[in-house]
Amino acid sequence: MHQGELLAGKYLLEVRIGQGGMGEVWSAHDRELDRSVAVKIVNADPGLTARLRREARTGAQLQHVGITVVYDIGEHHGHPFFVMELLAGTDFQTLIEASPTGLPVVRVAQLMAPVADALHYAHRKGVVHRDIKPANLMELTDGGVKICDFGIARFGEATTGLTAPGGMLGTPAYMAPEQYEGKDADPASDLYSFGATLHALLVGRPPFPGPSLPALMRQHLTQPPPRLTDLRPDIPAELAWLVLDLLTKDATGRPASAAYVSDTLRALSGDLVQSTPPPAVQRLTGWAPLVPLSPAKERTLRSTDSDISTEIEFVNQRSEAVRICWLDYQGSRTFYMQLAPGMSYIQQTYVSHPWIITNTAEIPIVIFQPTATPGRATIY
């Protein structure tokens, strides 16, 4: 496929955003409805096309906030394609790569609870994903999490590993033992893959290292997963046990439903949030001082509110909203400014111009007169 190609007379391909053994994913413009969409063109064997279309129709019946919407299906030069909502966000594999030793525990629980909600909904509808893995989960820019490739994942070759031969479909590092045995995947298989994904988010890698497909098969079929608390002591015991339950070899020993998993993760998340102490305020040293004004000068400056020409609001290290205002009553000044939560960096070129720190009610807390040396101050 190439940029500018038109599918079904209305989907104009714009940018290729993914490519793998299963085919290509493009961002495209739906000319008929004037909206941006994602188009997945699949490299399917002609004999599988009809079955693939049936699977896609099944996926299109799923209407849940945590599941990517399938808008349309079609065929282009012998290749089936699927039109889906175009998501803006970051897939979980990218999150893992950015935190190779694992994400914060409470963040993992908060990310994966809605995934379990979406899985529970799909399982109640009789639909199994078959390829739950970090690359198929996305944290959206505007908030929320979505599962990608429902109804299509069965035919997808993994982009981060090999698709097992002999009819076994899925991503080997996250596949359930019964999938390695060539059995049909069921909701319990999705839960196993969910557990492997939880493991990867918590410690930066899936439970079994491989490195080859035969090694992965042996590990998933016969070896117990490592204890998470041995790899990362700060993981709560309840969460470590949940992951072990999800990774049980016998499918009948796994949690009864994704709803149970969701409830467990939310309870753990709430406990973790309540037990987390507020961050300690670190008072930095070696900063150039900003000298407080005399009471008389401060009173004079407080009477010149109309001369305030610049202000910015931010949150300090005690989670309080703070506003900084600069007085510019002499007509010229040059500032270099960079703000971060809890601190402001101010370089004064003209030292005669003071600045005022206020709270959100615009009541001055303190007024400082900059020194001749470029000044910086941490605001507590």
Q: Which residues are catalytic?
A: 131
Classify residue 317 as exposed, middle or buried by CB count within 10 Å of its CB (0-12, 13-18, 19+).
middle
d(CA 227, CA 236): 12
Q: What is the DSSP string of 149-209?
A: -TTTGGGPPPSSSPPPSTT--S-GGG--HHHHTTPPP-HHHHHHHHHHHHHHHHHSS-S--
Using DSSP, state whether 95 is helix, strand or coil.
helix
Q: Which helix (H) or strand (E) holds 110?
A: helix 105-124
Residues annotated in the binding site for ATP, as ranges? Answer: 40
d(CA 151, CA 129): 7
d(CA 105, CA 97): 16
Nearest to 155 by CA among 59, 84, 63, 91: 59
Using DSSP, state whether 139 is helix, strand or coil.
strand
Rounded CA Rg of the chain = 28
d(CA 272, CA 153): 34
d(CA 43, CA 78): 9
Whether 359 contacts 365, CB under 8 Å? yes
Whether 152 contacts 89, CB under 8 Å? no
Q: What angle do CA 198, 199, 200 make, to 5 degrees?
A: 90
Residues annotated in the binding site, as ranges? Answer: 40
Tokens for 321? 């909203």
164, β-bridge pairs: none
d(CA 149, CA 17): 15
Tokens for 318? 């005690």
